[in-house]
Chains A and B, each alone.
Chain A
């Protein structure tokens, strides 16, 4: 069983994309990272608001003159707004319930651990404190938010970043990068993620973060011009379910696509497995590629 888990994790990590070497960045560029000031990482259940909102209705307002009508209208608006807000909170709370089995792990998963796992000392990408500025090179100030799909089979990161050159307070590049992991294929997803003190959950979370930062490093200084005419509808996998995004393709490799969505976010998404993977995609030693 443990062997299966290791194989599943290896396959998952191998499928995680990493951006190709950042050719546009000067060879001597030094990168550093900053993360939010909070203690623990922001982890949520993936939420869907498709069923949110109330249906259409009709409201009869009392006819107490114009002033009465305005008051009635304002009261109606306030009530409806409160109901919508409450409903959204309930939907979010419901979505977070899938994280209950992992609460112990998540409550001890700090930004420091995330940075150390994603960029160990040997990587040459140091983590500096929140709000600090490096003496030289480039700083990626990032605010990652992680999600688990409702079927508990995949993780997602939305990493909002700002890239600063040392000595500058003006960001050279800001964007959000979303990376969606491929679904794990195991008997029990909760057991898989939580085994060994949440080892798998920590590793895949860190891998997602690393991948999102690598995408930023590759694209921040050489943004590819967008082309509205190239947009098409992509179908991909979020966990075991199909998801849809209207976007412009940037690259596709090893069953994953890098796309730019309508908001301009960069998204690395797992495509449905259509044909056998190329050898370079399955070789464990090979660097995972986009």
Chain B
């Protein structure tokens, strides 16, 4: 009986998971968002995730344990990799905005987006969270948010078997909120994956894969900085 209830719950959970809100699609940058000089533009960033490995496709506990064991050296190395170039991203964005005649306001404290109230807007491309507390605190006209969800090295699995070589990965999202408009003024999903040139399996320092990791970081930075600078 207990087994049947468990099975029923598992099936229900699977169906309900399919009802989760679809991810926000990309929104192109609005027309000349920085045309008006002297706007106060906040730059906020969520807490940088810990640099680590991930094994998508090996989610079941036994599969994950096997993948973690097989990649233990890689994980140990990944955790030593610096992410300084991402930590300095807010300041780099501020520099670009200054060159465009804007007034960047770097928000020092890490942004915890999940703790902000939901807007409740259901319209397409509507901003999901209410950032008005930041607007009033820092007297902002617009807000740029960098939310990184994964930084490190990722290796895809199909249960117990790796289906590809590990790659340097940076993923997350970057968006611009215009406080006069309920919709995102710009929304950029970020996913940069870079493979090692030549062999990746070079323990203990994994130089090729480490380089791929830094390439992914730089690609993510440029995905944000270049459109801002144009």
Chain A residues at the B interface, C-beta cutoff of 8 Å: 48-50, 52-61, 73, 76-77, 80, 84, 233, 235, 242, 244-246, 261-264
Contacts and interface: CB of A to CB of B under 8 A. Distances in A.
B26 to A, nearest CB: 19
B107 to A, nearest CB: 25
Contact of B159 (A61, A233, A262): A61
Interface string B196-212: 11000010010110110
A57 B163 contact: yes
B161 A56 contact: no
B215 interface: yes
B215 A54 contact: no
Contact of A244 (B162, B208, B218): B218
Contacts of A55: 56-57, 156, 163-164
Contact of A56 (B56, B160, B193): B56
13 contacts: A50-B167, A50-B195, A54-B163, A54-B164, A57-B157, A84-B164, A233-B218, A244-B218, A245-B215, A246-B211, A262-B205, A263-B202, A263-B211
B46 interface: no
Given A54-B163, A57-B158, A84-B163, A233 B214 contact: yes
B191 to A, nearest CB: 11
Contacts, number: 91
A262 B211 contact: yes
B142 interface: no
A50 B161 contact: no
Nearest to A74: B161
A76 B158 contact: yes
A287 B207 CA distance: 34
Contacts of B90: none
Contacts of B58: 56
Interface string B86-106: 000000000000000000000
A76 B161 CA distance: 7
Contacts of B214: 233, 244, 246
B219 interface: yes
A263 B207 contact: yes
Interface of B: 56-58, 85, 156-165, 167, 193-197, 202, 205, 207-208, 210-211, 214-215, 217-219, 222
A61 B62 CA distance: 13
Contacts of B167: 50, 53
A262 B195 contact: no
Given A52-B164, A59-B161, 11 more contacts: A50-B193, A54-B158, A55-B163, A56-B57, A57-B156, A57-B163, A59-B159, A76-B158, A76-B159, A84-B165, A244-B214
A49 B156 CA distance: 14
Counting chain B CB atoms within 10 Å of each CB, the highest count among A59, A80, A244, A264 belongs to A244
B163 A49 contact: no
Nearest to B81: A246
A57 B56 CA distance: 8
A248 to B, nearest CB: 12
Contacts of B160: 59, 73, 76
Counting chain A CB atoms within 10 Å of each CB, the highest count among B56, B58, B197, B205 belongs to B197
B98 to A, nearest CB: 19
A233 B210 CA distance: 12
Q: Which 9 A-B pairs have the closest CB atoms?
A: A53-B164, A56-B57, A262-B207, A56-B56, A57-B158, A246-B214, A54-B163, A59-B159, A49-B195
